[in-house]
Chains A and B, each alone.
Chain A
Amino acid sequence: GAGVSQTPSNKVTEKGKYVELRCDPISGHTALYWYRQSLGQGPEFLIYFQGTGAADDSGLPNDRFFAVRPEGSVSTLKIQRTERGDSAVYLCASSADRNTEAFFGQGTRLTVV
């Protein structure tokens, strides 16, 4: 596709469940980022991939959060034992490389009930 695509658009899950959020970056973009946006806040950095490797995961809040990008394209953000505080919009972005403009997807709105 032409832009960054995220699925699902919305996800409602019960507390304690496991969820996976998917990001399809712009074709050919080697850099991929995940951000989390809580209600009334700006996006906050979670993790940065360069190719297949997580070059910086310093923004992941705890070990319940994990992300992969096994083939250097699609990325999956995985959250174990979800908590109500995990409710937020999870944004994915990609860029041609780390020094160029990042383009954001529309986000996945996660609600933990």
Chain B
Amino acid sequence: GQQLNQSPQSMFIQEGEDVSMNCTSSSIFNTWLWYKQDPGEGPVLLIALYKAGELTSNGRLTAQFGITRKDSFLNISASIPSDVGIYFCAAQNSGGSNYKLTFGKGTLLTVNP
């Protein structure tokens, strides 16, 4: 089936540093999304991207939908301790199965105060 390759698997950074993570696929997708999951909780949507080349910000978070439609990245600026968690990319096709989310394996972010 379709797979998303997410990297890095984990990151350990100091508070205040910027973070970047990305996701690639061999298939084209029409929507890219980024989620955050805290321990014992379900994923929460951070940013959704709907057009190739789109660059969208949500506070300190910025994400881009690659022009090839096969990749996306997420940047977090000036990290703070509450940014700790697992970040997942996800993608959707258009058409009949557009409800189905395909997820990457996640990036575990640790922020050292």
Contacts and interface: CB of A to CB of B under 8 A. Distances in A.
Contact of A98 (B43, B44, B99): B99
A91 B103 CA distance: 13
B42 A45 contact: no
B40 A106 contact: yes
Contacts of B45: 101, 103
Q: How many B residues are at the interface, by size bracket? A: 20 to 34
A88 interface: no
A38 to B, nearest CB: 10
A84 to B, nearest CB: 21
B14 interface: no
B100 A43 contact: no
A56 to B, nearest CB: 7
A52 to B, nearest CB: 16
29 contacts: A9-B40, A31-B99, A35-B101, A40-B106, A41-B106, A42-B90, A42-B104, A42-B106, A44-B103, A45-B100, A45-B102, A48-B99, A48-B100, A56-B97, A56-B99, A56-B100, A91-B42, A98-B99, A99-B99, A101-B45, A101-B48, A102-B99, A103-B45, A104-B42, A104-B43, A104-B44, A106-B40, A106-B42, A107-B40
